[in-house]
Chains A and B, each alone.
Chain A
Amino acid sequence: QKEVEQDPGPLSVPEGAIVSLNCTYSNSAFQYFMWYRQYSRKGPELLMYTYSSGNKEDGRFTAQVDKSSKYISLFIRDSQPSDSATYLCAITPGGYQKVTFGTGTKLQVIP
Chain B
Amino acid sequence: GAGVSQSPRYKVAKRGQDVALRCDPISGHVSLFWYQQALGQGPEFLTYFQNEAQLDKSGLPSDRFFAERPEGSVSTLKIQRTQQEDSAVYLCASSGPDGLHEQYFGPGTRLTVT
Report A's interface with B, CB cutoff 8 A. Answer: 6, 8, 32, 34, 41-46, 49, 88, 90, 92, 94, 96-104
Contact = CB atoms under 8 A, between A and B. Distances in A.
B94 to A, nearest CB: 11
A100 B45 contact: yes
Interface stretch (B14-22, B36-44, B60-68, B74-82): B36-44
B40 to A, nearest CB: 7
A43 B107 contact: yes
A88 B91 CA distance: 14
B108 interface: yes
Given A43-B4, A96-B56, A102 B42 contact: yes
Interface of B: 4, 31, 33, 35, 40-45, 48, 55-56, 91, 93, 95, 100-108, 110
A46 B102 contact: yes
A97 B101 contact: yes
Given A43-B108, A98-B48, A32 B43 contact: no
Contacts of B93: 43
A99 B41 contact: no
A61 B44 CA distance: 25
A49 B101 contact: yes
Contacts of B100: 32, 49, 97
A98 B48 CA distance: 8
Contact of A92 (B40, B101, B108): B101
A98 B56 contact: yes
A43 B101 contact: no
B7 to A, nearest CB: 14
B45 A99 contact: yes
Contacts of A88: 42-43
Nearest to A34: B101
